[in-house]
Structure 1
Amino acid sequence: MTTSQLSVFFMIIYMLEFLIITGQSSLIVVALGRDWVQTQRLPPADMILISLGICRFCQLWSSMLYNFCSHFHPNYNFWYFGIIWEFTNILSFWLTSLLAVFYCVKVSFFSHPVFLWLKWRIVRWVPRLLLGSLLISCVSTIFPATSYYIDIQFIAMKHFPRNSTMLERLEAFLWDFSTLHKVVVLVIPFLLFLASTVLLMALLSRHLKQMKDLHTGCSNSSPEAHSAALRSLAIVLILFTFYFLTVLLSILDVLFNKESWFWAWEAIIYALVSIHSTLLMLSSVKLKRVLKARCWSLEAA
């Protein structure tokens, strides 16, 4: 199969992003896992980060295998790689929203009994919420797996003299319902992430304004820390929103349906994933310490 120069260019970028995200996910899992072994304790936020690192590692490998196998062997249907990608993509959305909810509940300073109860319970609930995210992702992948199987049966039935009009209607209905299902299972965790992040930004903004208006005797480091946290949250919100929109457009197959632009679209999607993973690493004190140690060792070498 011939490949255009434009496709080769974006394939190279895609592979570079693959290496970067693989290194990021491995560093998250290894660094936090080693700290877990040493201290015999794993904080809830680190649990979510490790789960997200493993999920994105699997998501990236399934994406690479599916894209390259489908590109060089277009006559075969590598549906099993597609199912793995569907599962890991849904799970990554739920884990990202869970991380946003966790930080929102922990940082919130509402005096309402519901928030106080959630703040007390959220730490204990994280393992159960992780298991719940896993189960929801598994259930959400049942229909795509069934859809892939039915598509294969439709392809086989086209070789037999049957009512082609009925088959086309069933295939169109299956496509529309499958697309709607894919959109719904991603919209729900995205809205949860959006609500939690916006609420957290509103809380930090109000607290920062109160500190500036009251002119308390606190040091200048506290307002600067709040401002830095707000900037980081804004960047994460924008990046994850763009990631959601790019995945949504890819599912709907609206824009870049040509072969050359497919690789460009994939490069854009995983560039956003790489930047988001970098911001998550910088938000963790342990991972920042590991990154600084690695940078110092490279400078010393």
Structure 2
Amino acid sequence: MIPFQLTVFIIVIYMLESLTIIVQSSLIVAVLCKEWLQVKRLSPVDMILTSLGICRFILQWASILSNFSLYFNLNYAFWYISVIWEFSNVLIFWLTSLLAVFYCVKVTSFTNPIFFWLRWRISRSVPWFLLGSLMISCVAIIPLAVSKFIQIQLITMEHLPRNSTVIVRLAMFQQYLVNAHRLVALGIPFLLFLASTTLLVASLIQHVQQMQHRNTGHGNSSMKAHSTALRSLAVLFIFFTSYFLTVLISLTHKLLKKGSWFWVWEAVIYAVVSIHSTSLMLSSPTLKKALKVKCWGLDAA
């Protein structure tokens, strides 16, 4: 059991992390929307990042509301808000995998005809991919909504005998439905992310090795650019994988849903989310330029 004072401190840390994520998400959306108003267009990467910023903003507010509803036993509020959290989370996984696929197709040096065709088509297809991600997330959330309805029905049946066959079967079906939903809804986009990242890293390593053999001035600058890309990919891979694992553990491990350890685990999850959001911000030239301008303005002031 964690002391009450330490629990309060961890809750404060969680709230500071949540505020950081909300500010990060708001900054992403504000900067990229301003860019869109100025030039009347956004790059495919910026379109994906704008969608991610909106989802992160919604997810974090849903996290705050659902966590405090669960902690203070406001069960009905928790169930409805948790559906919004799950929907936003699934959509974030699909959008992050879409970002990895986009980078994989545009950056890889593979000469396969399929990659040439995808490279030609993918930039114009990003809006359709965004719409597809939204539709997939809407479909994926249906089993969870059904499971929440079953939970409500189980509460209304509490007056029945505890060994009631109906209650036992409903509880088992609800648990099976939730676990299967989370495994499929989060696992498929994560596997797509892993495959795209692996292909991209393999291509970049191959290209760096070729540049080392050439050993020219242009090759050195190109090698530095590809080495930077590899480091960025490593950061994105580490923190998105960490986010996937922490979310999966927190959703399936019952001990982390009760008591003081609940807030410890939430603080761990959203520390990873904050770093992941920062790495995503640094993947956009538009956002990096805006951050440099703001930092330069602060230094000048």
Give how far 1:300 is off: 2.7
CA contact 1:25–1:57 (8 Å) conserved in 2? yes
Partner in structure 1 of residue 169 of structure 2? 169
Superposition pairs for residues 137-156 of structure 1, below 5 Å? 137-156=137-156
Conserved 8 A contact 2:69-2:75: no
Aligned to 1:70: 70
- 2:85 matches 1:85: yes
Q: Please name the residue that 1:201 is paired with.
A: 201
What value does the CA root-mean-square deviation take over the aligned residues? 1.6
Structure 1 length-normalised TM: 0.95
Distance 1:80 1:74, change over 3 A: closer
Q: Distance in 1 between matches of 2:95 and 2:168?
A: 37
Following TM superposition, by how much is the alpha carbon of 1:260 offset from its aligned partner in structure 2, in angstroms? 0.7
Q: State how far apart, in whole Å, the 2-side matches of 1:162 and 1:14 are.
A: 38
Contact 2:211 2:220 in 1 (8 A): no
The aligned amino acid for 2:268 is: I
Secondary structure class of the residue paired with 1:63 = helix
1:216 maps to 216
Look up the match of 1:276: 276
Q: CA deviation at 1:200?
A: 0.4
Could you list the runs of 4 or more consecutive aligned residues of structure 1 that deviate by over 3 angstroms after TM superposition? 73-77, 160-163
CA deviation profile, 1:216-257 (whole Å, cap 9, x unmatched): 342532211111111111121111111101111111115534
Paired position in structure 1 for 2:38: 38
- Which consecutive residues of structure 1, in runs of 5 or more, have no partner in the other structure? none
Q: Which amino acid aligns with 2:94?
A: W
Residues 97 and 192 in structure 2, CA contact (< 8 A), matched pair in contact too: yes
The SS at the match of 2:141 is helix
- Given residue 248 of structure 1, which amino acid in structure 2 is its aligned partner? L
One-letter code of the match for 2:109? F
Q: Distance in 2 between matches of 1:176 and 1:6?
A: 35
- Which residue is equivalent to 1:23? 23
The yes-or-no answer on 1:232 pairing with 2:232 is: yes
Contact 1:62 1:81 survives alignment (8 Å): yes
Gaps of 5+ in 2: none
Distance 1:206 1:76 in 2: 54
Structure 1 residues 90-117: Cα deviation after superposition (integer angstroms, max 9, x where no partner): 0000000000000100112222211110
Structure 1 residues 75 and 286, CA, compared in 2 at 3 Å: closer, same or farther? closer
Deviation at 1:178, TM superposition (A): 1.4
Contact 1:249 1:255 in 2 (8 A): no
| 1:286 maps to 2:292 | no
Q: CA deviation digits over 1:33-63, x for unaligned, max 9?
A: 1011100111111100000000000000001
Q: Which 10-residue stretch deviates more, 216-225 or 113-122?
A: 216-225
Distance 1:168 1:106, change over 3 A: same
Q: Is the 8 A contact 1:256 1:265 kept in 2?
A: yes
Partners of 2:212 and 2:219 within 8 A in 1 = no
3-state DSSP class of the match of 2:42?
Answer: coil
1:77, CA displacement in angstroms? 4.6
Q: CA deviation at 1:214?
A: 2.1
**Deviations 1:153-182 (Å, cap 9, x if unpaired)?**
111012145862441232023212211211
Is the 1:70–1:76 contact (alpha carbons within 8 Å) kept by the matching residues of 2?
no
What TM-score does the superposition give when structure 2 sets the normalisation length?
0.95
Q: Distance in 2 between matches of 1:55 and 1:275?
A: 16
Amino acid of the residue matched to residue 95 of structure 1? L
- Tell me the percent identity: 60
1:248-259 alignment, distance < 5 Å: 248-253=248-253, 256-259=256-259
Deviates more, 1:92-101 or 1:73-82: 73-82
Q: Distance in 2 between matches of 1:69 and 1:217?
A: 60
Equivalent pair of 1:256/1:262 in contact (CA under 8 Å): yes
Contact 1:32–1:287, Cα closer than 8 Å, also in 2: yes
Query: Partners of 2:77 and 2:164 in 1: how far apart?
Result: 22
Distance 1:254 1:79, change over 3 A: closer
